[in-house]
Amino acid sequence: MKKIVFVLLLVIGQVSYGQITSQPIADFTFSNAENVLLLDVRTPQEYKDGHIDGAINIDWFSNDFNEKVKNIDKNKIIYVYCKKGGRSLKSQERLASLGFTKVINLEGGFDDWQNDQR
């Protein structure tokens, strides 16, 4: 019975939020495709200190995060990352609640990506 309830909750979550998934950032390859957006949710200083080429920066901690993401096309596939994964996971949930349906959290964040580039 517990398994059935869990599966039902999982299905309901997928229907409600669309395609909300995660993948290790080490497996990520960015293509500047028209329907893809790479979102860095770290602070402007963190972004300035280094970021993945092609990423746009919208600070998770900013008071106007919701306003800034409203300008993003909701039909795009959005890959979101932060330093280690906490803010990107929260951002992913927020984006889903705002109607974005294709949001992929890049697990491990910029730190893992940077270590993988060495």
Q: Are 25 and 41 in contact (CB under 8 A)?
A: no
Catalytic residue of the set 82, 96, 104, 106: 82
Q: Which two three-digit tokens encode residue 51? A: 């970021």
Q: Are 56 and 38 in contact (CB under 8 A)?
A: yes
Residue 106, CB half-sphere, CA atoms under 13 Å: how many? 26
5 is catalytic: no
Catalytic (active-site) positions: 82
